[in-house]
Structure 1
Amino acid sequence: MTTSQDTERYFSSTYAEARERFLNAARRHTDQIDSYPVDATGAQGEALSTDVAMIAPPNARRLLILTSATHGAEGHCGSGCQVALLDDAPMLARAAESGVALLLIHAVNPYGFSWGSRTNEDNIDLNRNAQAFGAQPLPVNADYADVHDWLVPSEWPPTPQNERAIAEYIERHGVQRFRSAVSSGQYTHAGGLFYGGQAQSRSLRTVSHVLRTQAASFADISWIDYHTGLGPQGHGEKIFAGRRNEQEVDRARQWWGADIAVPFAGTSASVDVTGQLASTIYTCCPESRPTLMAMEYGTQPFEAVVGALRGEAWLRAHPDAPTDVATALRRRVRDAFYCDHDVWKGMVLGQSRVAVLQALCGLSAT
């Protein structure tokens, strides 16, 4: 049973604290730790880095990857799950006995984790950024252009006219089309929401390098990418994160259960997106057999989360905003992606442990 003392040990209030806890926990199990700095400064003036720990028994042929803070502000959750696993002796022993190596990538987006932003230092959504830039056309989200000016208003708080325009759009086109317009990803408005960028970000290149150098030799790879912000509070939706391949979907169902959600089939709280971080496995580890899942924990209703992201986007465009306004907007983003109370944290840890155990069992059976 998870106690209040456990959640205090595992979950951190800042990126700097989370990084220290992760590194200290990882050093107890391995000396295979690498750090990849980001050329930006954290909210507390700290250096920023993606840290990678490999825990590999001899002759391991199977690999479980756990990633946190793909969306920076969601890193409180993912980091907590990674640190908890590093403190879980029975689970670590089971992995070793099963010949499964663990690759923990902490703070994929350290800038966003530190500053309380979902996106990175260039406002890029790293889960929309894994595209073949220059090799093929980028996805087109024509609907986003229709709502961008309302989503990122010229003044804050938004005017009643602004809010009415959004309500009228939803009334005309429906909630689902609005959600898709907002969150499926866009590549045209650099200051907007869910912006996928015009080139692969430094963070994505870092993850690709780690996969090529540390993961590509494994025959079977499972990947759990931790996220927050969609669905009922505390519920962990298991979202299939692979390509449109029925064999991969069936394998994910066998491992994680029939309730695994499939965005392209319309059974997920998430809209169907491309450019997800986990899709880098196909180019970086082409000889491996992947089984991919995003663990998405609910926090607040979709409208509240979008409202927080709108405030953050406005703040990026107005860096001279009064301190009290900036602080309130950043706090709102934090609350949208991290529920800082024991019940939610306990639910997160319990569901994470089950998902990790299921992945180990699935890998062991291959």
Structure 2
Amino acid sequence: MAVKISSPAAVFPGTFAEGRQRFREAASAAGATLASRANPERGPDGGDLSTETAWLGPKDASRLFFAQAGTHGAEGFCGSGIETGWLQSGIFEQLPPDTAVLLVHAINPYGFAWVRRVTEDNIDLNRNFVDHGKPTPDNPGYRELRNSICPDEWSREGENRNRAQFQAYAGKHGAWALQAAITQGQYFDNEGVFYGGKAAGWSNRTMRAILKPHSDHVRKIAFIDLHTGLGPYGYGEIICNHLAGDPGTARVKDWYNDATATDDGTSTSTVVTGDTQIAITDTIPEAEVTGVTLEYGTLPLEEMLLAVRADNWLHVHGDLENAKGKEIKSQIRAAFYPDKDDWKKMVFDRAIDVAERAMKGLTQS
């Protein structure tokens, strides 16, 4: 399908407010039905925060292409650009019968506006979709390394000590175990990183509320959660959201012949607990879901995790207005949004390819 965008880099925003406005304009121009849900917090400029949705196609369609941007707020620059670009490109102009498109923009608007991965409650949204009425998964590796992962001070000397602790842990348990200890998720340290929360946060509840009205008619869903941070620069890794043995795994392999999996060692990501796809299976249990995470590489893993940890320290212990605070905010922005034209072009070209494959799988399966 011909794509109507001459400069893909131009669709990516510089701020949350710019991204929201561009998304709204592109959705309106495409004839989408728009809706907005206000977040209770404010942005760093005092501006309002909200999650937008755009719906294209029949209201009672049984097949749904569903993509979400900004699960991890700072990654919303990329997801916003992709969704706006999709709308402008014309790929959704002639939808197959009984097929609709749902685009969710900035499901975590607080994190997008403040350039943080987490929500207003310091929750990693992609770890928040667990049953909080039951015992939550433990992460003994995080417990062991907690004071090195989330130190009270942020200095060169302190990081040398922390790095030594990480190297010792990796030497004993392996590099993969170290990554899992830090990133897999934890549910006890509410000031720490990759915190899954004690209850469903605002973004969790909002995602479910967005999906609920469609539970009576949607029966097949192609889900794409847009992320950045892991993998080679500019490469869009298609990560299967299903584990081995789930019927969705076979469909992912059929639709995307280059998909990876978190549970067989082929992905750059470890297995994640409490991911966003659970909201879909909980809210529309009758639907056949084929879900992937489209993960775009930015910086080497160690640099990316350093930025996450530094930002966590800043918001718990630091000062956003001093030189160190501003340097850290620039660091985390770069870790999840390389503001470079070559990266943006690679991202958007891949996004068009993946969307077309998702739509083909959805309508031909």
The aligned counterpart of 1:225 is 225
Change (3 A) 1:39 1:239: same
- Structure 1 residue 60: deviation in Å? 2.9
Read off the aligned partner of 1:207 and give its amino acid letter. M
Q: Are residue 277 (structure 1) and residue 271 (structure 2) matched?
A: no
The aligned counterpart of 1:86 is 87
Match of 1:50, SS state, is strand
| Residue pairs, 1:174-193, within 5 angstroms | 174-193=174-193
Is the 8 Å Cα contact of residues 239 and 263 (structure 1) preserved in structure 2?
yes
The aligned counterpart of 1:145 is 143
- Aligned partners of 2:317, 2:59: CA distance in 1, in Å? 53
CA RMSD of aligned residues (A): 1.8
Read off the aligned partner of 2:135 and give its amino acid letter. P
Is the 8 Å Cα contact of residues 65 and 104 (structure 1) preserved in structure 2?
yes
Q: Are residue 157 (structure 1) and residue 139 (structure 2) matched?
A: no
- After superposition, what is the alpha-carbon deviation per residue over 1:209-247, rounded to whole angstroms, capped at 9, x for unaligned? 111113552121111000000011111110011355442
- Aligned partners of 2:73, 2:256: CA distance in 1, in Å? 26
Is the 8 Å Cα contact of residues 65 and 221 (structure 1) preserved in structure 2?
yes
Read off the aligned partner of 2:353 and give its amino acid letter. V
- Structure 1 residue 168: deviation in Å? 2.2
Is the 8 Å Cα contact of residues 236 and 295 (structure 1) preserved in structure 2?
yes
Read off the aligned partner of 1:9 and give its amino acid letter. A
The aligned counterpart of 2:323 is 324
- Aligned partners of 2:58, 2:45: CA distance in 1, in Å? 37
Runs of at least 4 residues off by over 6 Å: 1-5
- After superposition, what is the alpha-carbon deviation per residue over 1:266-323, rounded to whole angstroms, capped at 9, x for unaligned? 2211001110011211110011111001000000111001100110111111244652
- Aligned partners of 1:321, 1:111: CA distance in 2, in Å? 16
Identity of aligned residues (%): 36
The aligned counterpart of 1:198 is 198
Change (3 A) 1:214 1:319: farther
> In terms of mean alpha carbon deviation, does 191-200 or 211-220 score higher?
211-220
TM norm structure 2: 0.95
The aligned counterpart of 1:343 is 342
The aligned counterpart of 1:42 is 43
- Aligned partners of 1:256, 1:305: CA distance in 2, in Å? 27
Q: Are residue 173 (structure 1) and residue 188 (structure 2) matched?
A: no
Is the 8 Å Cα contact of residues 15 and 113 (structure 1) preserved in structure 2?
yes
The aligned counterpart of 1:255 is 255
The aligned counterpart of 1:24 is 25
- Aligned partners of 1:199, 1:287: CA distance in 2, in Å? 25
Read off the aligned partner of 1:119 and give its amino acid letter. V
Structure 1 portions without partners, runs of 5+:
none
Match of 2:207, SS state, is helix
TM norm structure 1: 0.94
Read off the aligned partner of 2:19 and give its amino acid letter. A
Read off the aligned partner of 1:152 and give its amino acid letter. C
How many residue pairs get matched? 362
The aligned counterpart of 2:70 is 69
> In terms of mean alpha carbon deviation, does 197-206 or 56-65 score higher?
56-65
The aligned counterpart of 1:364 is 363
- Aligned partners of 1:110, 1:58: CA distance in 2, in Å? 26
The aligned counterpart of 1:333 is 332
- Structure 1 residue 5: deviation in Å? 6.2
Match of 1:69, SS state, is coil
Read off the aligned partner of 2:348 and give its amino acid letter. L
- Structure 1 residue 93: deviation in Å? 2.5
Match of 2:295, SS state, is strand
The aligned counterpart of 2:296 is 297
